[in-house]
Structure 1
Amino acid sequence: MKENLLHFIWKLKLFPTSKIKTTSGELLEIKSSGLLNYNSGPDFLNAQIRIQDQLWAGNVEIHLKSSDWYIHRHEKDESYDSVILHVVWEHDVTIFRKSNKTIPTLELKNYISKELLENYQKLFSTPKKWINCEQEINRIDSFILEHWYERLYFERLEQKSVQVQDIFIKTNNNWEATLFSLLAKSFGLNVNGEAFLNLALSVDFTTVRKVSNNLNQFEALLFGQAGLLFDNIESNYFLNLKEEFKYLQTKFKLEPISKNQIQFFRLRPNNFPTIRISQLSQLYHTHQNLFSKVIENEKLEEFYELFSVSASTFWETHYTFSKESKKSIKKITKPFIDLVLINTVIPIKFWYLKSLGKNDFSPLLQLIQQMKPEKNSIISNFNMLKVKSDNAFKTQALLQLKNEYCSKQRCLECSIGKELLKN
């Protein structure tokens, strides 16, 4: 028996609540089980119970054994003076208040069904499973799953918006600068994301506005700040950028990030930082006031058109400054735009709406539901369990489910786990 299971049972009243009695034989009626307390103090707050004919309002504490009250030294903590009921699995000792009156106790072990305990054992005890419910998840009612997916997705959005808030503060509450910084991070992908973010934050956004009108200057600014213009390379394009950056560095008192932050290793050529920096430069050169366009757009095709830019001409025959390659247009692809929308655009739109006090996020749901499902090992494993994903909304929800619930054994906080235990 685990204490978190007792929390779960008490919260959802997964025991016969009629004709239950305290350990002293008094009739007990649960009017409200209270709210789970995630901070210090009693486990459930603002509960309401009736003992015999007396209605009580206060808090509930839950333990495996009654004696845990003394083991945890609750008798010395004033925050437990308001406990109106002690809920335990096994009652082994009477608990007294400071007034020497006993605290009513409910012993649960005689009220819990054998089936619920078996379901709990089945869920948590089978070894070597990818997720605990892998044998049962595909029989959960679709209505329950859809509601849970929506909650998971918005929980994930809330987590992503934490960085949006952080960058918003760092950029002095400038939405355009926030978008630029987080777009840079997205363009850097997992390998160079943090380095690209540092690159964006190393330049005041007023400088970005001034320079972005001139594509050559803007590329020089970003390549220079990335520390990629300090080599000796005999290329007119490279030398031109290098000279231009020297001028910008003096004019705007720029301090480049360390070259060692930018990585080429383990990247496909189309994701080389050189290509992504040029594409980012082209995007901001093409679109002034990009933030307002991002906020206005709601349809997927509108975003595909907005982000449909290519790296500059030099990069049609290069992936690095020094080596020539077969000619190809380095255009931003739709799958890459999807990643940018998932990781940057939608979280920014979400936090922007929240900052305005707006709570209608249906356009964001409609947007991500238009996008193709992501492909990764987690989604592949869910597919093998016959949990299919037909869009990016579902894959984002499943990533949240696996990373934040399944991997952390939080089955009692998961709608799927709850349903399996109840049934």
Structure 2
Amino acid sequence: MAPGERSQKRKSQSFMARVSQIWQKYATKDMLVDLIFNPKYLWVSALFFILAEIIVNIYIIQKIKYTEIDWVAYMQEVEGVVNGTWDYTKLRGDTGPLVYPAGFVYFFLGLYKITSNGANVRLAQYIFAAFYIITLVLVFRIFHKSRKLPPYILIFMCCTSYRVHSIFVLRLFNDPVAMMFLYAAINLFIDGYWGVGSLIYSLAVSIKMNILLFAPALLLAYLRCLGFKKTILQLTICAAVQVLLAVPFLMANSFGYIKQSFDLGRVFLFEWTVNWRFLPEEIFVNRWFHLVLLVLHLVLLCTFAYTHWDRYLVNYATLQGIGLETEMACQLLVLPLFVSNFIGVAVSRSLHYQFYVWYFHSLPYVLWSTQFSVTFRLLLLGVVELCWNTYPSTWWSSGLLHACHLAVLTGLFLNRPTNKRTERLKKALEKKE
């Protein structure tokens, strides 16, 4: 063996010896338990799963067949803009007219250019894999800052999410893009960057309207944390983004743009519903049924705003006012946003399979905000996953999904803020002073 090779071997052995010494020093039984159960160390598991997900997504793209659903239609819709059509009523694809706001057009127009006019689907898949990783990083950061979830929950989020991986890298829907921007906005909100957060939030809305499900809790957060005047400023930012993005379309046909991109009365096809399969189709498409769901949505929002969110956000504003940054403070802001969205999903007029990403990543957080046992929480996660992976949906899968949603809402409602929690907050404030 040459002298240089012996020297290199000794260095390698020395390095491995140091690694072994460090492992033996710190890898105690308590530490291993902490890495599995202690929310403080969730970031360690997060790093591991981020690296693992990079490999998994590459494998999925290379080995599992891509299924065309909406990508070609997206490309056809934005191609109309490339060809000089700004009238929204004339922008169409194979699946029908363009029904998303202007931000969708610009974002997918960029993808259109990058992917050779949409022809390079494999490149698009890798771009969406990057979106998936970015989304995980943003979600894991929220989890880490809030110290709410045990590290082992990431196993269930990453290893059982067949449907979510499919939505991102095998279907290329716009839903995950909107959610990526949404989680970026929440990260900015919890860091105190309200103006930039509002801008990113509005960009998310401009890609798909489901992001408005977070709006009721966000509006209350503006009012409680920033006051009336600054709330007006945040709403102005949100509105300005929508108007600026829409200017060319508004100039071409303002009524057509507003009607088509923000159509709240759109009727979904019964054949694709995940959550109402147990109903007769004539009830599903009935306007009175939609009206009942709307009233139920408003009642649930008002109830939770009164019984939960208002106190959470007032306490959050108090903690922020004295500069006390704690995991409790983060939880007080994040939970109303996630629950507001969950309520919207639970009473939605129709859920399609790609809509699973609307609440998939926030569902563990919501469940860990109940007083259910760990076993029951994991059971609910498993049953929800089963329902979303039953294709086509059946009467029992849609009924079971509603049963899970009802159980979660009940658990959240019963875990109301109490005087005991308020006392703990007062003690924290006194300690700070």
**TM-score class normalised by the smaller sequence:** under 0.3
Structure possessing the higher radius of gyration over alpha carbons = 1
| The structure with more helix, counted as a fraction of residues | 2
TM-score of the superposition, structure 1-length normalised?
0.25
| The structure with more strand, counted as a fraction of residues | 1
TM-score of the superposition, structure 2-length normalised?
0.24
